[in-house]
Structure formats: C-alpha cells, structure tokens
Structure 1
Amino acid sequence: MKALVLDDHRMVGQALAALLREVAGVPVLGACSSVQECSSLIAKHKPNLLVVDVKLKGENYRDAVDLLHQHQPKAQLLFVTALGNKFRPPVELQPFTVAVVDKACAWTSLLDAVEQWRRLHQQPIDQPTIKQMRLIETLAPRERKLVLALGRGMLNKEIAKDLQLKEDTIKTYRKQVALKLGVSGPQLIRLATLYRSWCLNAG
C-alpha cells in the first residue's frame, strides 16, 4: 500500500508525509505541492491513497483525483482542509473517501483515519511510534514543553533558561520523559522532532 500527499504548502505536505511514514509506517511516494507534480507521480507509481488538501492555490484538487482514479480506480482519498465543516466530498467521491480531517484538529485525527484505511485493507497498524506519540499528549505540560524544545534542536542549557529551571533538572526531565515513552535518548530526539513538526504545521 502506497500513499501520496498533495498540499500546496510544502512544509505542511512534508509534515503530513513524515507523520504517515515515520509514525504510521505507511510507505509515502512523495509530498507534492502542485497538481502537475502530483500527476507525474500518480502516473508513474499508481498510489493506493491520496492525502489531499481541498484548497489549492490556483489549482483544482479534482484534476489529481480524477487522474488517480483513471490509473487506480479503487484508490482511496483522505481530505485535509482548513475549511472545517464547510467541506463535504462530492457525492461521486464519497465511496472512496476514508475521512475528512480538519487541519485545526490534533494530529491524532489523521492517524485515526489512516488506521481506518489500513483496517479496510486488513493491514492493521502496529507501530510503536504511534503509541509513543500518543503518550506525549499525556505528559505534564512542562514535560511537553521539553519535548517541543528538543524538537526545535535546543540544548539543555537553552531549555533550562527558557523554562527557568536548572540544567540538572532538565537532564532529569529528559530521562523521565524517555522512560515514560519507552525510548532511548536519540529516539526521544526523533520523536520530539516529529511531534514538534506536526504541532507547528497543524497549528
């Protein structure tokens, strides 16, 4: 099963692709910022899932969707939108629609939709990273701030100054958070980068 992302905001598209690839374990062919770029990959690779922003500057998402269904008639669609409840998939696309995810919602909404898609294809997700990313949401506020700071590439000394704590306290927090998430130090940095990237683009 292969996915393709189309969002005219390149950073958002890359964040979506990273979430799918690194957290959900879904092979991603690419993150496209134009219908032309997307169409080229569709014709070449015939993805099974298209994650598409419904509002593209100067372009119509239907051009990519229609081409996708020419090459892959049963391909599924996952719409992402900043329009909230105002967007409803056209009637003819509803049978192929996995979900409509509001960009203002938490990243977990997207993962839930992807899990639903995987279940439809009898490929349940069993990715440890998903559990760890969800666990970040349960951390104490200061611990989540630490994770976001690590995701920005900040050093212990910088984080301590930012949170008005001692550097030794930050070191202790890092160990505690890594223990709670069940990861090593380097894995915590990777998770923090993914988490911060999604929060930045979803916000």
Structure 2
Amino acid sequence: MTVRLIVVDDDPLVRAGLALMLGGADDIDIVGEGADGSEVPELVDRHAPDVVLMDIRMPVVDGLTATETLRRRPDAPEVVVLTTFHADEQVLRAMRAGAAGFVLKDTPPAEIVAAVRKVAAGDPVLSPAVTRQLITHVAGNGTDARRPAAVRRLGLLADREREVALAVGRGLSNAEIAAALFMSVATVKTHVSRVLAKLDLNNRVQIALLAHDAGLLDEDGPT
C-alpha cells in the first residue's frame, strides 16, 4: 500500500526536510504541502490523504484547531502532530482531538517514516510508556470537571471491557493485559476494538485519557 501524505508546517525549511526524508520511502507519496492549518480542509478535499503530518504551532490556524476540525469529518485521515516537546499540554489536546500520536521534530528520519507507516496501518504511534508519561505530566488540568461525564461513558462498557480499558489507561501493552487478565492477546484486541466502538474513540490514547478523567488511574480512586 502507498501512503498518501500531506505535510503541514509554517517553516519552509522544515517542510523541505520532511519532504526529502519521507519522499525517499517507496511506499509514501507526498501528495500535498501546507504552510498553515487554515489550508488543511482544502488540501484534504483535493488530495484525499491517508495521513496528515501536522505542526502544532502555526500563526493563523494552529495545528490543534486544524486537527480538531479535521477529525470531526467523516472518513477523516489520520493525524500525526509535530512538536518540540515530549509532554506538552498542547500534545495532550491533540490526542483528545483524535490525533494518532506525535513525533518530535528532532526524531531520527527513519522513526518518522515508521510513524507514518504505523498510523496509516491503523496503529497509534505512542508507546504505552509515552502514554503514561503524557498523562502523568499534563493530564491533571480540569480533570474534576470532566469526571462525571467520563464515569458515565465508561458505564457503557461490560465488566471485562472496563477492565481492559483500565489496563490500557495504566499503559499496559496487549501482551501485558493478556497476562494480567488471563486472556489471549487476540481477545484483548477484540475488547479494545469494542471499547473504541462503544465509546466512539479513535485510539488507545483516548481510552487512557478517559480512564484518567474518570479517576480510575488515581492511586486511591475507584476501581
């Protein structure tokens, strides 16, 4: 499969560098480039990309607003955000909006190429460890206000699905969840898919954030 990619960054040198490194991959086709988030809707309509590589900080419409707008569309492409920070409140907002992950601008070229491939295949590019780090560092703001709604949403899940959602929130991989809950990895994957569908979420990061908002990841919180 050839991945159709759009690169959006206000720095022409960054765009040129990304185009150079990504354009060298046989299975990635850069079909469009943009200098601001305001250009994203038209670019997506024109080029029908599979993935958008989106800078967070842009002068007119930032990448967060562009991501939120884009991910509300039917059949929206996946979004990977570009940032200079590991644990940034803006990265968290992008995850809540449905971005499939983030990469740092100083990430080695091979890892950025791998991230685009993973996202195009339907896999998030945040490892469980990075997910937990992100939540631990920046997820606390506004949690109390979000808690009642998060608890209600998780109430839609069956008991086993809720256990899996909690394990995802704690940063466990599918193999680790399988071992902890005495089920096969295939069964874990099935439960994760059901959780995503029932809660209308895009990826595991959003499951983790919802579990956090509900208070399930607090040391003394509900179980």
Q: TM-score, normalised by structure 2?
A: 0.46
Q: Between Structure 1 and Structure 2, which shows a larger proportion of helix residues?
A: 1
Higher Cα Rg: structure 1 or 2? 1
Name the TM-score, length of structure 1 as normaliser: 0.50
Identify the structure with bigger relative contact order (alpha carbons < 8 Å, sequence gap 6+). Answer: 1
